[in-house]
A and B are shown apart, each in its own frame.
Chain A
Amino acid sequence: NAGVTQTPKFRVLKTGQSMTLLCAQDMNHEYMYWYRQDPGMGLRLIHYSVGEGTTAKGEVPDGYNVSRLKKQNFLLGLESAAPSQTSVYFCASSWSGASYEQYFGPGTRLTVT
């Protein structure tokens, strides 16, 4: 099993450009999460999904959109990138809710200039 994979690993965008980050998991997990990690700020939840076709806002959702059209995939979109969105983005999945282990992907390092 590959676990949780993220595409791409690195990306540089100019302000105003758009992009989509792809997360895929092969563990048949119901729950999927997108976090951003900034120095000294820990992991902050952007959006999450409790099942195929569902999405919900996390702590820092502004400027991001998500979609979960297939159970194994969770997409994070930036419609108009801003320098404040420079960060490392992690996707995670879990079998059920918060009381279950979250499995993290390797991360995507995004730089917005």
Chain B
Amino acid sequence: GENVEQHPSTLSVQEGDSAVIKCTYSDSASNYFPWYKQELGKGPQLIIDIRSNVGEKKDQRIAVTLNKTAKHFSLHITETQPEDSAVYFCAASWGYSTLTFGKGTMLLVSP
């Protein structure tokens, strides 16, 4: 099956700094790569995704890049704010029906 590795497991930044979270995947057939944000006590929520025919996608302060050759993708958050503090999960599609998630990154943004 698919294996997704996510780094780092924790990330502390100062408000206004940028944050980068990286993921690698094993199955070259994977073609969809979403990122989910989980706030304390809530279920994960999709924040951005990218498909294999695109190298980069941006939505305001967040962006995702994909390198299919190297089988890795990254989440970039610019101008971080305290409300960005949460756990972030990357995922990769496996087959048609399911996602495989990384183990998560706890992002802490200090004022």
Tell me the minimal C-beta distance from B58 to chain A in angstroms: 18
Q: Nearest Cβ in chain B — how far from A27, in angstroms?
A: 14
The reply to whether the CB of A41 lies closer than 8 angstroms to some CB of chain B is yes
Check A42 against B103 for contact (C-beta < 8 Å).
Answer: yes
A48 to B99, CA, bound (A): 11
A102/B46 in contact, CB under 8 A: yes
Inter-chain residue pair count (beta carbon < 8 A): 63
Tell me the complex Cα distance, A98–B36, Å.
Answer: 14
Query: Which single member of A43, A56, A99 contacts B101 (CB below 8 Å)?
Result: A43
Interchain CB contact under 8 A, A98 and B93: yes
Whether A77 sits at the interface, judged by CB under 8 Å, is no
> A101 contacts the other chain (Cβ, under 8 Å)?
yes
Set B46, B89, B95: member contacting A42, Cβ < 8 A: B89
- Judging by beta carbons under 8 Å apart, are B45 and A104 in contact? yes
* Chain B residues positioned under 8 Å from A104 (CB to CB): 36, 43-45
Decide yes or no: A106 and B51 within 8 Å by CB, A40-B103, A99-B31 being known contacts. Answer: no
Q: How far is the CA of A105 from the CA of B43 in the complex (A)?
A: 6
Inter-subunit contact A98/B43 (CB<8 Å): no
A58 interfacial by beta-carbon distance below 8 Å: yes
Task: Known A90-B44, A99-B31, A104-B45; judge A58-B98 contact (CB<8 A).
Answer: yes
- B residues with CB within 8 A of A: 1, 6, 9, 31-32, 34, 36, 41-46, 49, 51, 89, 93-104
